[in-house]
Amino acid sequence: MKYSFSLVLFLLLLSASCSKTQSYSDLLKNEQKVSNWFLAQHTVCNEIPSDSVFEEGPDAPFYRMDDDGYVYMQVIKSNKKGDRDIPHTGDQVYFTFTRYDIDLMYKSNTLDVPYSNSNQDDLWNTTSTYFIFNNYRVSVSSEFGSGMQVPVSYLGYNSEVNILLKSYYGFSVDNTTCIPYLVNVRYFKAEY
């Protein structure tokens, strides 16, 4: 009887420890697999052009923007009027965005999925629409992650990009979910 009770207790503990939730390491592996699937659907350049002249348009390649491959950028439109107006540290950079869940794309085996959230249709909604350039100590910057600031540091204001953002450089609410997002972003200068 004593051994039966011990065996039942052991089996209960064993089943409780074998949870159906994935470990963080498993989530990161899945994020990498899903990101690779998405990038395989596009042309990818593993280096930033030395002159920072990127190909543009909906068929432009995705450029790897960091050594670890957390941010890939496709330039839709850049400001070609003279010199690019790049923000300085501390400047407010306004932007609109639309996010698409790449994991959902992978699971449905299509690039055509509805957006998960957006402020492109309504600039006056409750979502903050700016960040302080190169200042991640303030919440309006840190909540969007460092990856959102990468394109504007190369292209300046009045540019539009698609960014593949892995969770490490993405929105702070996504840091533990390990879901990569495709984010369409447009950057604007403060009008004051």
Containing structural domain, residue 146: 23-189
Residue 9 lies inside a defined structural domain of this protein: no
Residue 2 lies inside a defined structural domain of this protein: no
What's the token pair of residue 151? Answer: 């394109």
Q: What is the largest CA-CA distance in the chain?
A: 86
pTM over 0.85: no
Residue 15 lies inside a defined structural domain of this protein: no
pLDDT at 121: 67
Each residue's pLDDT, cut to its tens digit, for the chain (192 residues) gives 444 444 444 444 444 444 467 898 999 999 999 999 999 999 999 999 988 889 999 999 999 999 999 999 999 999 775 678 899 999 999 999 999 999 999 999 988 887 777 777 665 554 558 999 999 889 888 888 999 999 999 999 999 999 999 999 998 888 888 999 999 999 998 876
Q: Is 37 helix (H, G, I), strand (E, B) or coil?
A: helix
pLDDT at 17: 40
Residue 73 lies inside a defined structural domain of this protein: yes
CATH number of residue 145's parent domain: 3.10.50.40
Residue 3 lies inside a defined structural domain of this protein: no
Residue 66 lies inside a defined structural domain of this protein: yes
46 burial via Cβ count (<10 Å: 0-12, 13-18, 19+):
exposed
pLDDT at 102: 94
User: How many other C-beta atoms can be found within 10 angstroms of the C-beta atom of residue 192?
Assistant: 4
pLDDT at 53: 87
pLDDT at 18: 42
Residue 155 lies inside a defined structural domain of this protein: yes
Residue 80 lies inside a defined structural domain of this protein: yes
Question: Measured between alpha carbons, how far is 136 from 7 in angstroms, rounded to an integer?
Answer: 53
Structural domain count, the chain: 1
Residue with tokens 């010199």: 83
